[in-house]
Amino acid sequence: MSGVSGEFSLPVRVYIEDTDAGGIVYYVNYLKYFERARTEFMRARGYDKPAFLGPDSLFVVTQAAVQYRVPARLDEALQVTAGLASVGAATLTFVQRVYRGRDCLVDAEISIALVDAASGKPKRLPASLRRDLQGG
């Protein structure tokens, strides 16, 4: 997963609502952590409404490959990262990880696509967004 640019890190605390009966983070909640980190990644780059690029566009997740390595537990302090791995014509692919200290608990590659809000069909990313995210 090389080629990750501008990695962003978001602190997250594990609350009881995040866990199962055994006090372990329920697997789907990592996807919520990843969503928050991607949102803040975009916000840090000046996109205040990262889910929307105008009233007729939105981002949707198209693919998520997640590797669960070690469980997080109730009340632990975690760091959730988001780094941009690639920019396509209509897609962004992120490499994301959850850390407890230096230990990587979960890692993922998540792709999102820009789509027309009404039809759900893919749309090209605006040139300005592509430039901003590619650093040029």
DSSP secondary structure code for residue 88 in this structure: -
Of 20, 56, 103, 116, which one is the catalytic site residue?
20
pLDDT of residue 91: 97
Grouping H, G, I as helix, E, B as strand and the rest as coil, residue 48 is: coil
pLDDT tens by residue, 48-94: 776 667 788 999 999 999 999 999 999 999 999 999 999 999 999 99
CB 113 within 8 Å of CB 90: yes
CA–CA distance, 62 with 110 (Å, rounded to integer) = 8
pLDDT of residue 5: 62
pLDDT of residue 54: 76
pLDDT of residue 48: 78
Residue type, 108: A
Q: Which two tokens stand for residue 64?
A: 């998520």
Grouping H, G, I as helix, E, B as strand and the rest as coil, residue 4 is: coil
Q: Band the pLDDT of 6: cuts 50, 70, 90.
A: confident
Beta strands in 4-76 (DSSP E): 5-13, 57-68
Q: Is 20 a catalytic residue?
A: yes
- Looking only at the bridges linking them, the beta strands covering 103-116 and 77-87 are unpaired
The class that CATH gives domain 5-134 is alpha beta
Average pLDDT over residues 99-121: 96
CA–CA distance, 61 with 20 (Å, rounded to integer) = 25
Q: Which two tokens stand for residue 25?
A: 């983070």
pLDDT tens by residue, 38-60: 999 999 988 877 666 778 899 99
What residues does each domain of the chain span?
Answer: 5-134
- Tracing tokens 């952590």 back to the chain, one arrives at 33
